[in-house]
Structure 1
Amino acid sequence: MSSFRTPVGPQSSSVYWRRRLIVGLGLVAVIAIILLIVFGPKASSNPDASGSAETSTAESNAPAATDSTVSTVCDPAKLALEAITDATAYDSGQQPQLSFSLKSTMTEPCTIEAGSDIQEFVVTSGSDEIWNSKHCQTAGEARSIVLQPGVPVQSSSIEWDRTRSASDTCESDRPVVTAEGASYHLEVSVGDIVSESTKQFLLN
């Protein structure tokens, strides 16, 4: 009879069976390690790295409403404020959408108060002030924003209804301004910062 099935030796057969079991388990472990090395997952350079980089870049370029890590206050002398309209000419029935762009020329991120509570939009025709957003503003929201160097931040727009405003006409009908190709100019200010130039547009 085979000595493998019936161990021969001075000790009991159970001892030899345990030894063979230990040896067998060791061989299985070695084979498993070899298979893992050969067929296991290849090392990668983090497959999510490119996506994370894009997200990080996008976030770095996006204007932050608040950021407690930015303590540098923007220097008004190094800020450029630009008045913006959504078109250069408006047909009858089209309402001009007014906004502004604010850009910093500083070399590091800075924070500035630029909420609607200190924003002012003024529409003029020649030396005549036609409309002012402050005339009937009932509430303004304070807001701090972070400006990245050289990255312009555009405000949300407000609509001008093509009427002449005054502080005592907020609850009454206002006269509609002249159209038929008339030229108007938009000037914007944020606190003490005034747009470098006005934005011209036409009403048809």
Structure 2
Amino acid sequence: MSSVLHPVGPEDKGTYWRRRLVVVLVLVVVAALAVLGVRALTGSDDAAAQQPTKLDPSTVASGTTASPTGTPTGSPTGSPTASGTATGTATATDTASRTSGGACPAQSLSLTLTSDYSAYGPGKTVRLVLTVENTSQTTCSVEVGTAVRTFTASLDGRQVWSSADCQTQTASQVYDLEPGGRRAMPVTWSRQRSESGCPTGQPMVEPGNYTIDGSWNGVDAQPVTVALTS
């Protein structure tokens, strides 16, 4: 202990103390560098752990799309997958339940025919709407394309117009209807007469109270009456 506090040797005491101070400083620097190195490694690991895992876009897309049988076509592979998997599974299951009913049977549907107005002034275009509603407790699909719906107008029992007379193209439109869901099928009538084959030059109809009929897939809706004035 005395040799540490009171160094002996040919050199003076100041030289020995300076040497000891240099050694202590070197040890302090080495220890500080070691601590910084450990912190740098630890911080890098923490930063890597905090980075969110990116989900594969193709996996997300397939996870939210149901196949015809209602089975998801893919599953998320990224981590974390808790919310992604839950969302994908829930969406696929919901889609499967919405399409599990197939085509809507006739007894599960109601059909309503309406007109925007009960009376139309001179030159006003008549707008009619057929609405189909799913009255069942099961989601099912309906075809509402132009090929399956027809509107007619009659005056005193004589048909003067049909939406099918001048229809040159038909389009298929299939939609899923949830319980209580509705789908509207609108059409406009310029008040011009029509005949089968759609001959040109047909005159406009005269004023009067017209009976409007609407049918969808062979089912007739309750007719409505509209007044056309001059």
* Structure 1: gaps of 5 or more residues: 33-59, 61-67
Q: Deviation string for 1:54-88 (max 9, x for gaps)? A: xxxxxx9xxxxxxx945521011121111122222
For the 8 Å contact 2:153–2:162, the answer to whether it is kept is yes
1:22 aligns to what? Answer: 34
Matched, 1:87 2:135: no
Deviation at 1:122? 1.1
Check 1:20–1:158 CA distance in 2 against 1; reply closer, same or farther (3 A cut).
Answer: same
Alignment of 1:20-169 (within 5 A): 20-24=32-36, 69-155=99-185, 157-168=186-197
Deviation at 1:192? 2.1
In 2: Cα distance, 1:130 partner to 1:5 partner: 115
What is the identity, as a one-letter code, of the residue corresponding to 1:149? P
Deviation at 1:105? 0.4
What is the identity, as a one-letter code, of the residue corresponding to 2:213? E
Query: Please, what TM-score do these two structures have when normalized by structure 1?
Result: 0.66
In 1: Cα distance, 2:148 partner to 2:38 partner: 77
Deviation at 1:166? 1.4
Between the two proteins, the alignment pairs up a number of residues equal to 163
Check 1:2–1:141 CA distance in 2 against 1; reply closer, same or farther (3 A cut).
Answer: farther
For the 8 Å contact 2:99–2:139, the answer to whether it is kept is no
Check 1:87–1:7 CA distance in 2 against 1; reply closer, same or farther (3 A cut).
Answer: farther
Cα RMSD of the aligned pairs, angstroms, is 3.4
* Structure 2: gaps of 5 or more residues: 1-16, 44-93
The 3-state SS of whatever aligns with 2:130 is strand
Relative contact order (C-alpha < 8 Å, sep 6+): which is higher?
Answer: 1
Which structure's residues are more often helix, by fraction? 2
Aligned sequence identity (%): 22
2:227 aligns to what? Answer: 202
